[in-house]
Amino acid sequence: MGFGFAHVSIVVPDIEAAARTLADTYGLIAGERMLNEQQGVRIAYVDLGSAKIELMEPSRADSPVSKFLERHPRGGIHHFCLNVDDVDATSRGLAEKGVRILGDGTPQHNVAGERIAFIHPGDFFGALVELEEHR
């Protein structure tokens, strides 16, 4: 299993306001706004060269990101993402070691159509971890 750092995901209540703050304060530019219907989020990436910041805003009330904002109204870090070569093989290998992979087994995809999976926070020091497949 090989891992690489991909991005950190920050939930924000207003993606446009967050993008303005990043630009005005830090000179960081958020890219195209995209919608991931499956995950129930609007997202934009800030490209940092070797990694990214992913801004996420809920697109519907039943999104896990909406529930996060209920607990953290100002937003905050939601998870970090690791690149893997094969999400299914990595998930199987981790599960064999007792790591819990979230979900019902239905394949999940990011806005680029790449396979993703999430590791239960209880199995990674309290942090939610996304596995993202890059081929």
**CATH number, domain at 15?**
3.10.180.10
Is the residue at 2 inside a domain?
Answer: no
Is the residue at 109 inside a domain?
Answer: yes
Q: pTM for this one?
A: 0.88
Q: How many domains does the chain have?
A: 1
Helix and strand counts by DSSP (H, E) for the chain? 3, 8
Cα separation of the two ends of the chain:
14
Residues spanned by the domain of 121: 8-133
Return the pLDDT at 135.
67
Active site residues: 130
Is the residue at 85 inside a domain?
Answer: yes
Is the residue at 15 inside a domain?
Answer: yes
| Tens of pLDDT, residues 77-127 | 999 999 999 999 999 999 999 999 999 888 999 988 999 999 999 999 999
Q: Give the SS3 label for residue 100.
A: coil
Is the residue at 124 inside a domain?
Answer: yes
Cβ atoms 54, 43 nearer than 8 A: yes
